[in-house]
Amino acid sequence: MAGISAPGLGSGLDINGIISKLMAVESQPLANLDKKEANFQAEISGYGSLKGALSTFQSALADLRKAETFSATTGSSSDESVLKVSTDSGVVPASYDVTVNRLAQRHKYGSAEFASTQTFGGGAGDSLTLTSGSASFTVDLSSAMTLEEIQAAINVDANETGITAGLITGDNGNQTLVLTAGDSGYANRVQLSYGGALDATTFNFSTFNRDASGNPLGSETELDASLVVDGVTVTRSSNHIGDAIKGVTLDLAAPGSATVSVDEDPGVAVKAVKAFVDAYNTLKGSLDELAKGSLNGDGIVRRVESGLRSVFNRNFSSLGSYRYLAELGITSDKDTGKLQLDQSRLEAALQENPDSVSSFFSDSDKGFAKGVDTLLDGFLGSDGMIQGAIDGVNSSIKRIGDQREALQRRLDMIEKRYRAQFTALDTLVAQMNTTSSYLGRQLDALASMTNGKK
């Protein structure tokens, strides 16, 4: 059975305390490694923050890279109670006189009135088929059904026609089955066919739709919207009409007349440029903080700022009338390095030569936004500068881990040696104490004997 180890018991020395203090001195390099690793981890965090800030800034360039940002238009209606207007970019400014004669409707097809207990079908092959557009759905009536049961059989997921069934109960208690098309217009109307002993007289369906005056439609073709654009008759199945005037969408609201106006909208470009300026100023603030904090002394922040300044000061003379950002109202504050926008100057340029402004910012090969984007890709790519820096720091952290393991092994050996040395010292001191005690007793005994002979 192993004995209980109690270093210092024989000598009275605090061996554990002595070794603990000695190991604290020996372990100082380990603490230094921990400090280095903490600094590296802070650096990685800084690179992550830098990457996020650059990505956010890059996102703000998206609209500047689009030519349509600088050719945006806006549409307006002289009477939005009749129709509303929206436009695509690049539409030629113009005006159109529009008269809405009628709106498109979803077809409503209603049966005659029947008692709630009356059933339909019940013979072999009896069926009711609903069709809208190119889609059809058949209700099997070989087992007789009431109108309520037919309604339930129509309103199932398997019915992909878009037609839905409703049931109206009048004051007399009788019921009317109403079928409503899923989409508006004549082409999407409800069409019925029958099988077995059933025919059109079985339910006596008729169109329930009314015109704007409340009168029954003269024909199911009147389910389509009808309007006149500058004297040209336009008939469509929907009230959302995007193909009557190229690049212009009309949303019909009611019969009547209105003037549709299409005008240039420089506000879209101004908004995009302002967003870019604000995004850069936010980025500049982040760069300043990182340069003072976790990336203090790191050259990558300086390279980012230097690269951006280079693009901002570049001459873009080959793209049109404007060469520099300053000519479009964008300048840099000499004290803070942040950008400033003279909106009136930008708006004047958009008014005088919108194509040149568009080319300056959005040219896909040499434009300003392309230049900034390419620069940022060099920092943000998977093989870019920031990732390379992160990989380098991670390698340093791995080396610290290897050094820590080696140092820990060395410390274990040192502690083992100290314990062996102090154990030997403890044993030696204990032996010397035993010898001292023995000699003391012998001297005392000799003295007693000498005193007894006197």
361: pLDDT confidence band, cut at 50, 70 and 90?
very high
Give 67-116 pLDDT, tens digit per residue: 999 989 999 999 999 999 999 888 889 999 999 999 999 999 999 999 99
The DSSP secondary-structure symbol of 244 reads E
Place of tokens 């003391």: 440
Q: Span 178-200, mean pLDDT?
A: 97
Q: Judging by DSSP bridges, how do beta strands 232-236 and 225-229 pair with one another?
A: antiparallel
Question: What contacts 351, CB < 8 A, 6 or more positions away?
Answer: 266
Place of tokens 């873009």: 316
> Both tokens of residue 357?
């402004």
The ranges assigned to domains in the chain are 7-72+265-429, 73-104+224-264, 106-222
Q: 127, 198 in Cβ contact below 8 A?
A: yes
Give 159-185 pLDDT, tens digit per residue: 999 999 999 999 999 999 999 999 999
pLDDT at 453 (0 to 100): 64
Question: What contacts 51, CB < 8 A, 6 or more positions away?
Answer: 379, 380, 386
User: What burial class does residue 79 get, using C-beta atoms within 10 Å of its C-beta: 0-12 exposed, 13-18 middle, 19+ buried?
Assistant: middle
Exposure of 419 in the CB half-sphere (CA atoms within 13 A): 12
Long-range contacts (CB closer than 8 Å, 24 or more residues apart) made by 315-324: 316/360, 316/366, 316/367, 316/368, 318/366, 319/356, 319/359, 319/360, 319/363, 319/366, 319/367, 320/353, 320/355, 320/356, 320/357, 320/359, 320/360, 321/353, 321/356, 322/349, 322/353, 322/356, 322/357, 322/360
Q: How far apart are CA 344 and CA 346, in angstroms?
A: 5
Q: 149, 168 in Cβ contact below 8 A?
A: no
pLDDT at 342 (0 to 100): 96
> Both tokens of residue 148?
């309520």
345 alpha carbon, distance to own chain's centre: 34
Give 264-291 pLDDT, tens digit per residue: 899 999 999 999 999 999 999 999 999 9
Mean pLDDT taken over the chain: 90
Topology given in CATH for the domain delimited by 106-222: Alpha-Beta Plaits (3.30.70)
